[in-house]
Amino acid sequence: MAPTLPSSSWLLLLLLLLGATATAAAKGSKKLTPPAATAYEWPERYHAVVVSNQSNHRLQLIELYYDWPNGRDLNIVRDQLSGDPPLYNVEWANGTSYLFDAAASSCRTFHFPVGILPPDWIATAAYLGRDTVDGFECHVWSNFLFSRYYADVATGRPVRWIFHGNTRHVLVFEAGGVMEDSSKCQAPPYCFLNVVAAS
């Protein structure tokens, strides 16, 4: 007759297996140590060029001018193959946003309660560890705005961020970059007209 384990040994084996599983799970959820946030903060002003993969998979080429001292963020947005002049989107720190199309003289106003992110927003974001994206070894964070934000471990520059289902790949990032013609940041008069011409 083959030897059989007494039932207490089976119980011991089961407990050992459960213990090993629990240890493995604890290792996986080990508290991640974030890098020093200051190395990954944004400069007070920057110019960036990003390719945005929209939720419908079409691409946009966006030029960004972030200017914290003046409390604004300008986005110049070109849609893939549209041939249309770019759309201008100015977001202000008080939360008001103007989206205007100079060619069509059309303007839409939005209000976001949060305004624009401060340069040190990363200090309060959740650190998610490391990942390699677009060929760069990155630290990864998320916050209420970015479901993922990837910054180059080596230089601190952003490489990619995902926001409202759009994935933005950073092609150019210039600290201190300012817009030559800042009149583009001023929403045109037609953004402030409440009166619609009588039909």
CB nearer ligand NAG, residue 31 or residue 57 = 57
Element (DSSP H or E) covering residue 7: helix 7-28
Of the candidates 65, 68, 92, 173, which one interacts with ligand NAG according to CB under 6 A? 92
CB nearer ligand NAG, residue 145 or residue 169 = 169
CB nearer ligand NAG, residue 40 or residue 92 = 92
Least Å from the CB of residue 124 to ligand NAG: 23
Report the alpha-carbon distance of residue 185 to residue 123 in Å, rounded. Answer: 28
Phi and psi, residue 189, nearest 5°:
-55, -35
Q: Does 164 bind ligand NAG (CB under 6 A)?
A: no
Residue 139 CB contacts under 8 Å (≥ 6 apart), including other chains: 34, 35, 40, 127, 129, 130, 150, 151, 153
Helix or strand or coil: residue 143?
Answer: coil
Report the alpha-carbon distance of residue 143 to residue 118 in Å, rounded. Answer: 13
From 1-9, 23-31, 89-97, 117-125, give the range in contact with ligand NAG by CB under 6 A. 89-97
CB nearer ligand NAG, residue 112 or residue 144 = 112
Least Å from the CB of residue 96 to ligand NAG: 4
Identity at 103, one-letter amino acid code: A
Of the candidates 70, 96, 142, 166, which one interacts with ligand NAG according to CB under 6 A? 96
Query: Cα dist. 195→2, 110, 188 in Å?
Result: 94, 18, 15
Query: Cα dist. 165→80, 118, 136, 193, 198 in Å?
Result: 17, 22, 21, 32, 39
Report the alpha-carbon distance of residue 178 to residue 174 in Å, rounded. Answer: 9
Total residues interacting with ligand NAG, rule: CB under 6 A: 5
Q: Which of residues 1-60 bind ligand NAG (CB under 6 A)?
A: 53, 57
CB nearer ligand NAG, residue 27 or residue 57 = 57
Element (DSSP H or E) covering residue 121: none
CB nearer ligand NAG, residue 74 or residue 122 = 74
From 14-22, 92-100, 157-165, 171-179, give the range in contact with ligand NAG by CB under 6 A. 92-100
Which residues contact ligand NAG by CB under 6 A?
Answer: 53, 57, 92, 94, 96
